[in-house]
Amino acid sequence: EQLCQRVGIIDHGKIIALDTPEDLIANAGLESTIEFSSLQEDAEKIFQKFTGMGKVIGQGDNRFILNTKESSKALKELTRFSDENNINVENISVRKITLEDVFLSLTGRRLRE
């Protein structure tokens, strides 16, 4: 983010976004990323059904992220969904989005997929 004046995001060989890092982040329509983990074996399968305030993306090693516009509402929805589905959520943190988060939001995949 600090070294580049323009960044292109390529998905399946096609450029899907090309802009300055600041504009890519601003145009993503997201404010923050919620990172969390769950040690339950079926957590990734269950979180695929989450529809409140964004999409939960598995990061491997029982880690997940949720990119969202409104972190406080998304945290409430995530807590409600976890309670309803009997999932223990741990290590919750909220941070500003990065270019990596924009990539995940646009492609729905991890960087190594």
What is the C-alpha to C-alpha distance for residues 102 and 30, in angstroms, rounded to an integer? 8
Nearest to 76 by CA among 58, 89, 61: 89
Helix, strand or coil for residue 53?
Answer: coil
Say which DSSP state 71 is in.
Answer: H
Helices (H), 10-113: 21-27, 43-47, 71-84, 99-107
- Taking each continuous run of H as one helix and of E as one strand, the counts in the chain are 4, 6
Q: Which domains are assigned to the chain? A: 1-30+97-113 (no CATH), 31-96 (3.30.70.980)
pTM value?
A: 0.77
pLDDT of residue 66: 92
Is 54 a residue whose pLDDT tops 80?
yes
Helix, strand or coil for residue 77?
Answer: helix
What is the C-alpha to C-alpha distance for residues 53 and 8, in angstroms, rounded to an integer? 26
What six digits make up the tokens of 37? 């983990």
Is 16 a residue whose pLDDT tops 70?
yes
pLDDT tens digits for range 59-93:
888 999 998 999 999 999 999 999 999 999 999 99
